[in-house]
Amino acid sequence: MSCDVTAPPWPHGPTTNRGADVINELVLLESKSLRDSVLEQTDVLDRVKALSLLPDGMHVTTAMVAAYFEVGLEAIKSLVKDHRSELEANGYHSLTGEQLRSFKNLSGIQSRTRSLALFSRRAVLNVAMLLRDSDVARQVRVYLLDVEHASRPKPVENSVHSTTLSLDDRIDQRITHVLGKTVVPMFNVLIETSGAHQRELIALRSGVQRIEKRLRQHHARLQRLEAPREDRPLAGVMASMDAMNGREFEEHIATLLRRDGCTNVVVQGGGRDRGVDITALTAHGRRLVVQCKRFAPHTSITSPELQKFVGAAKVLHDSEVALFVATCPFTRDALNIAAETGITAVHRGLLEEWSAGAALAVLG
């Protein structure tokens, strides 16, 4: 059963907190209007986990979607069956006949199947908002809420918010204390001294104990949800980089290099960069060159781009350490070339971790 929410899709007010985000996430599963309102945020997929694309750089197969969400193939097929029209509106389609043969020729896919289901990045995000039994899908939904929350205007003074949360927390704990220390013992006494209504009193006591248990569970759950997530980089890191222009992105990478002990950091820029954007020395004095590419998250760094950088880094600059930093994934061929030539490929996920404070091992 699904419901459609006609109210504004996201709550705005002093009571919004992580507990409210959990409620929003559940509504996101049920409300098509909410799903439609965030379908442009496809870069969220790469924040949670790198999404591998077919050679056309635009689509994934059903098996690839299942692998991304770490569920069985049948789970995705069943979801498509239940929500086919919505998914088709967001880029899902199935190829057969001449269309399939043409796609195979263009993309280089080797397959003997008579039909091939393809998902666009938008359709994959749509799946994330419909798939219940997947931790990866839930992380995508939580990230969507994080991005939306980070984009809201921040109030100058948030003391009312903090006071409200603190008051709510104290009220919950007080109710739990009263139930456990006063009401339940009172029922115990009444049960011992009452004969005619003992059964009813026992049933009432059981109900109160269930309420007390649920309040304790609710309090513990809120504490877990509001605690910092060490397994996930800081929200908003990649959003800020996506908003930069090319020069700002290069300066950002230069700042990270200086933070990690590099010296003589120079942002080249212009048409005289000789194939690299930044030159520097590592903390141990090794010659370092960096190529910076601020591309859209749904694109990929390809092997020709890697090969061009290899020539500039190794031949023109005689570098000892070479970084290719990008705000998007790398194709498999590009990663293979990087591994074979000693280039460090800093893809979107690794870049987010580096920007959030993690050190690059190659700079140590």
Q: What is the pLDDT of residue 196?
A: 66
**H-only helix segments in the chain:** 18-30, 32-37, 44-48, 62-69, 73-82, 84-89, 97-107, 121-128, 135-151, 159-178, 184-193, 198-226, 237-242, 246-259, 303-311, 332-341, 348-355
Q: Indicate whether 87 and 123 sit together in one domain.
A: yes
Q: Are residues 133 and 171 in the same domain?
A: no
Both 222 and 333 in one domain: the answer is no
Within a domain: 211: yes
Do 241 and 350 reside in the same domain of the chain?
yes
Same domain, 242 and 215: no
Do 61 and 112 belong together in one domain? yes
Residue 103's domain spans which residues?
18-151
144 falls within a domain: yes
Same domain, 267 and 336: yes
Write down which residue in 226, 260, 281 finishes a domain.
226
Question: Residue 302 and residue 334: Cα distance in Å, rounded?
Answer: 5
Closest listed residue to residue 278, CA positions, set 364, 318, 286, 288:
288
How far apart are alpha carbons 327 and 249 in whole angstroms? 10
pLDDT > 90: percent of the chain: 27
* Within-domain flag for 12: no
Residue 189's pLDDT is 66
Residues 119-154: pLDDT tens digits? 999 999 999 999 988 888 888 888 777 665 555 554
- The DSSP-derived string for 214-232 is HHHHHHHHHHHHHS--TTS
Q: Does 58 fall in a domain?
A: yes
Last residue of a domain, one of 226, 261, 283: 226
24 and 122 share a domain?
Answer: yes
The secondary structure of 175-208 as a DSSP string is: HHHHIIIIIHHHHHHHHHH-STTHHHHHHHHHHH
Number of residues assigned to the chain: 364
pLDDT of residue 228: 47
pLDDT for the residue 195: 65
- The predicted pLDDT at position 363 comes to 87
Pair of tokens at residue 77 = 């097929």
Comparison of pLDDT for 65 and 54, the residue scoring more: 65
**pLDDT per position as a tens digit, 68-125:** 999 999 999 999 999 999 999 999 998 888 888 887 777 666 667 788 889 999 999 9
For residue 10, is it within any domain?
A: no
Are 44 and 89 found together in one domain?
A: yes
Task: Kindly state whether residues 274 and 326 are assigned to the same domain.
Answer: yes
As a whole number of angstroms, the distance between CA 98 and CA 106 comes to 12
Task: Please tell me whether residues 143 and 99 are part of one structural domain.
Answer: yes
Q: Is residue 194 domain-resident?
A: yes
9 lies in a domain? no
> Residue 272: what residue type?
R
Give the contacts of 26 (CB within 8 A, at least 6 positions apart): none
Does residue 11 belong to any structural domain of this protein? no
For the chain, what is the domain count? 3
Last residue of a domain, one of 226, 251, 280: 226
6-62 pLDDT, tens digit each:
333 333 333 334 444 444 556 667 778 878 888 888 888 887 888 888 877 788 899
pTM of the model: 0.41
CATH code (residue 268): 3.40.1350.10
Whether residue 45 is found in the same domain as residue 144: yes
User: CB-based contacts of 114: which residues, under 8 Å, 6+ apart?
Assistant: 96, 100
